[in-house]
A and B are shown apart, each in its own frame.
Chain A
C-alpha cells in the first residue's frame, strides 16, 4: 500500500530519514508514514485494514445493490473515520475508490463525506483525484463536493508543488458554471506569480462578462493584479469586498471533533516527525483549528541551485543577517498564518514591498476570524475560549510588532461589534479595535459609533472605562501615524505603509474631530449616568490629556475643547487628583493655543482655529480662576447660574466661596491640615483666615508641595504674580492671553 502511495517519491525503505533533521515537509511526511506503518504492524489484523484492502482491490463494475460486502466494509471505514479520522493511506485508497467510480457514482458522495484526515492528506492522492475529474463521468454535484473537500483539507495536504504543476488543468474547469466558484477559490490558494498569464486573465475576463461581476472572479483577478498589475487593467476595489464563501461545513465539525479526540495520539507521531523544533509548540499548533499553522515551505525540494531564480524558503532562515542576504528571493510559506508566529517572518513582511504576502495573510486571517469567532458552528457552546484567546493575543502582538492593523481584522471587527455582548474576549476585542487605521469620517459613525454607543450605555462602568481607554489608544495611534507619515507638503498623508490609503489632511482632521466629539458625547452622558464615577472620570481625563496636546505633540492643527459635561464634573470632583489633572489639561490647552496663534501670525498659513474654540477656552479658564481663586462662583454670564433668592434659600453661608481652593471639597482636608500646622494649638478652625495674603501664599506652597503640579502650572500661567492674595476677591484672572481672535 505504501509503495502505491509513493509513486513519485523515492523508495520508502530507508529508515535513515527518521533521524534526518531536515525540516522539509516531505521528509516529515515520509517518516510519519513509516511510523504509521510500524504502528500498523502491531495491530496486525484490524478489521478496518481489511476493509480498506477490500476497497483497494475491488474490481471495477462490481454491483452495489445487494452487495453486503461493500455495505459492511464502508460502515467500518466510516466508523473509523468519524471516530479517529483516516490515515493518509486510507485517504488515498478511499479517494481513489470514489473518484474512479469503480462501483458507479452512487457511493461516491458517501465516501467523500467520510474522508476526514487524521494527520495529512497525500498530495498524490489529490492530484490523481483531480485527474479523474477530467474523465467526465462524475456527476456535477459530486464534482462540487470533491472540490469543497479539497478546499476544506487544503491546509492538510502535505505539499502543493504537484497541484501547482497541474494549475493549468485545474484552470480549465473554470468554464464549468457550477464548479466555477469553488475552482476559483482553489486557484486562489494555488496561484503564484509565475502562473499568471495573459490567456488566463483573458479567460477570466471573458467569464466575468458572461457571469457578471462575481465576487469569486473578482477575488481571483485581484490576486492576479497584485502579481502582475500590467496584465489586469480592470479596476478592482482596493479592498475585496467579501472573501470566498466557506464551503466546508459538512466536514468541519467532524474534523474538529476527530482532531480533539486524537489529541494525544497524534501528538506522539508528530513530535516524532518534527524533532528539530520545539515540540510543545508544534504539537499544540497541529491540533487546534485556531492555532497558527507551522511554518513550512511550499516546495519541498532541496534548494535548487541550477536555476537562476533560486528561492529560499522562509523556514530555513534563522537570523536577521540571513534574511537580509536572501531578501530578494524568499519563498513565502504554504500557509500564511504561520507568519504570525515568527518574528523573522514578520520582519520580512514589514519591509517587503510585495503586496501579495499581505493579501494572502489577510485572506487567511479574515477566514480564520470569521470562521472561528464570528459564526461558529454551534453558537459558541463548544467553543474553546482559551483557544480564541490565545489566537487573538498572538494577533495583537503581531499587530503591535508591525505597528498597524490588518484590514481583515478591521472588517471582522465591524461585523463582530454588531453581535457582541460586550464581555466575550473583551480585552482582546478592545485591543484589536484600538489598532484599526483611520476610518473616513463619512463611514465612522455607521461602522463604529453606532454599535459602540449601544454597548457603552447598556454596559457596566468598567466596560465604559475600557472603551474610553480603547478609543484613547485609537486616537494615539492615529495621531502617531499622522506625525510619521505626514508628507512634506502637509496636504496628503499616507496612513498605512502597506494599504496606502491616501487621505487629505482635512479628511484626517474630520475623522479625528469625529472621534473626539464622539468620546466627548460618551463621556458627558456616561459621567451623568454613573454619578461621576471617579474611575471613569480618570479615563476621560486621560483622553483629554492627549487631546489638549494634539497641536504641539503631534503637529495636527486642531484644538478641541472638552464639553461642559466633562469640564464641570472634573472641576467639582471630590478627589483632588481630578481637579489637578483638569488644571494641567487647561494649562496645556493654553500652551497649545498660544503657540498656534503665534505660529499663525508668523507664517500666515491658512490653518485656522475657530473663534469658538478660543471663546470656549477663555470661558472655562475664567470660570476656573473665578471659582478656585476669586471665590466668585455664580457670576452672571457664566455657565453655572442660579437665582440669587434660590441661593439664599439654600442657607449655605457665603455660598460664593464654596469651591475656592480652601473650601473645595477636594481640598478641604488640605486646608484643615494646613490650618492645624500653621496655627498650632488654635482650637477653633477658621478656614477663611487662610485667605489673608501671607497664609494664602504659604497655603499655595503647601498644596504644590503635595504634588499638585497641574494646579501649580495652571496658577503660574494664568494668574499674574504679585496679585496672589485671594481675599480682595476681584479679578486677578488673566483674561488677556488667549483671548478671542480678531476676525
Chain B
C-alpha cells in the first residue's frame, strides 16, 4: 500500500497537477478536456479509477496538487469506491488539497440518505463539496472553471492564498436539516 503524498516531490514552474478519481470514468474525461485548455498555467490532468495509484509510474508522476473525487449520486458503488480510495491519501492532502464533486444530485431517484452520507464524509474530512451538472455543456464548463480556481490556489499560484486557507472557507458543513426550515 503506497500513500500518495502532497509534498514528496518538487513543484514544477507555473504548473498545476490535478488528479481526477472516478470509478465510472464517465465525467472525468470531459472535465479533463476542459481543464487542459487553461492557458495561464500548465495544467496536467491525471485520471484514475480508484486509489492507490499503480507503483510503476511513481517516479515519473508529478506532484499532485489537488485530488478530486467524483461521485455519481445515483450509484452507491461510486460512493463506496471513493470512500475506499480515501485511505490511500496522505493526511497532508486533507489540509485543503482534496475536494469532492457530486453529480446527479438533483435526480429524483437519489435517496436523500446517500447525499447526506456524502455531506457527512466531506464535512468530517473538512473538504469542499461541489455540485456539478454533468449533463449539459454549460454545466461541464462551469465545473471545470470551479475546479481550476481551486487548483490554482492549491498549487500555490494565487498570491496570498493557500490551500488550507481556501478550504477553511469552503469546507462542507454538517448537513443542515433542510427539510424542516422552522420559523416558529
B107 part of interface (Cβ distance < 8 Å): yes
Interface stretch, picked from B12-20, B54-62, B83-91, B143-151, is: B143-151
Which residues of B are found within 8 Å of A459, using beta-carbon distances? 145-146, 149
Assess whether B132 is in contact with A446, with CB atoms less than 8 Å apart. no
Which residues of B are found within 8 Å of A529, using beta-carbon distances? 153, 158, 161, 166
B6 part of interface (Cβ distance < 8 Å): no
What's the A-B contact tally at a CB cutoff of 8 Å?
111
Which residues of B are found within 8 Å of A440, using beta-carbon distances? 183
Which residues of A are found within 8 Å of B136, using beta-carbon distances? 380, 385, 424
Interface stretch, picked from B26-34, B36-44, B45-53, B123-131, is: B123-131
CA distance A379 to B107 in the complex (A): 4
User: Given that A385-B136, A418-B178, A457-B169 are contacting pairs, would A376 and B107 also be in contact in the complex, using a CB cutoff of 8 Å?
Assistant: yes
B92 part of interface (Cβ distance < 8 Å): no
CA distance A457 to B149 in the complex (A): 9
User: Given that A411-B181, A458-B130 are contacting pairs, would A379 and B135 also be in contact in the complex, using a CB cutoff of 8 Å?
Assistant: yes
B113 part of interface (Cβ distance < 8 Å): no
Within 8 Å by CB of A453, from B161, B169, B176, B178, lies B169
Within 8 Å by CB of B104, from A379, A414, A423, lies A379
Within 8 Å by CB of B176, from A238, A377, A446, A528, lies A446
User: Given that A241-B180, A443-B181 are contacting pairs, would A457 and B145 also be in contact in the complex, using a CB cutoff of 8 Å?
Assistant: no
- A381, A443, A458: residue with the most chain B Cβ atoms closer than 10 Å: A458
CA distance A519 to B128 in the complex (A): 20
Assess whether A376 is in contact with B145, with CB atoms less than 8 Å apart. no
A517-553 to B contact mask, C-beta < 8 Å, 1/0:
0000000010011010000000000000000000000
CA distance A241 to B177 in the complex (A): 12
Give the size of the chain A interface in residues (CB under 8 angstroms).
42
Assess whether B107 is in contact with A422, with CB atoms less than 8 Å apart. no
Assess whether B139 is in contact with A424, with CB atoms less than 8 Å apart. yes
Which residues of A are found within 8 Å of B142, using beta-carbon distances? 421-423
Assess whether A460 is in contact with B149, with CB atoms less than 8 Å apart. yes
Which residues of A are found within 8 Å of B182, using beta-carbon distances? 237, 241
Which residues of B are found within 8 Å of A421, using beta-carbon distances? 130-133, 139, 142-143, 146
Interface residues of A in 440-458 (CB under 8 A from B): 440, 443, 446-447, 450, 453-454, 457-458
Interface residues of A in 597-655 (CB under 8 A from B): none
Assess whether B133 is in contact with A423, with CB atoms less than 8 Å apart. yes
- A249, A379, A460, A525: residue with the most chain B Cβ atoms closer than 10 Å: A379
Assess whether A380 is in contact with B133, with CB atoms less than 8 Å apart. yes
User: Given that A237-B184, A458-B146, A458-B150 are contacting pairs, would A375 and B169 also be in contact in the complex, using a CB cutoff of 8 Å?
Assistant: no
A358-389 to B contact mask, C-beta < 8 Å, 1/0:
00000000000000011111111100010000
Which residues of A are found within 8 Å of B135, using beta-carbon distances? 379-381
Q: Which residue of A lies closest to B173 (CB)?
A: A450
A554 part of interface (Cβ distance < 8 Å): no
A310 part of interface (Cβ distance < 8 Å): no
A709-741 to B contact mask, C-beta < 8 Å, 1/0:
000000000000000000000000000000000
CA distance A379 to B141 in the complex (A): 18
Q: How far is the CB of A388 from chain B (nearest CB, A)?
A: 12
CA distance A239 to B150 in the complex (A): 39
Assess whether B166 is in contact with A376, with CB atoms less than 8 Å apart. no
A213 part of interface (Cβ distance < 8 Å): no
CA distance A581 to B79 in the complex (A): 50
B172 part of interface (Cβ distance < 8 Å): yes
Which residues of A are found within 8 Å of B115, using beta-carbon distances? 419
A192 part of interface (Cβ distance < 8 Å): no
Which residues of B are found within 8 Å of A501, using beta-carbon distances? 183
A420 part of interface (Cβ distance < 8 Å): yes
Q: How far is the CB of B34 from chain A (nearest CB, A)?
A: 13
Q: Which residue of A lies closest to B99 (CB)?
A: A458
Assess whether A454 is in contact with B129, with CB atoms less than 8 Å apart. yes
Q: How far is the CB of A488 from chain B (nearest CB, A)?
A: 26
Q: How far is the CB of B132 from chain A (nearest CB, A)?
A: 5
CA distance A678 to B12 in the complex (A): 53
Excluding A421-B132, A460-B149, 6 further A-B contacts by CB distance (< 8 Å) are A242-B180, A380-B107, A424-B136, A424-B138, A450-B176, A529-B153
15 contacts between A and B (CB under 8 A): A237-B183, A241-B179, A375-B106, A377-B109, A379-B108, A381-B135, A423-B141, A423-B142, A424-B133, A424-B138, A440-B183, A457-B166, A459-B146, A460-B146, A529-B158
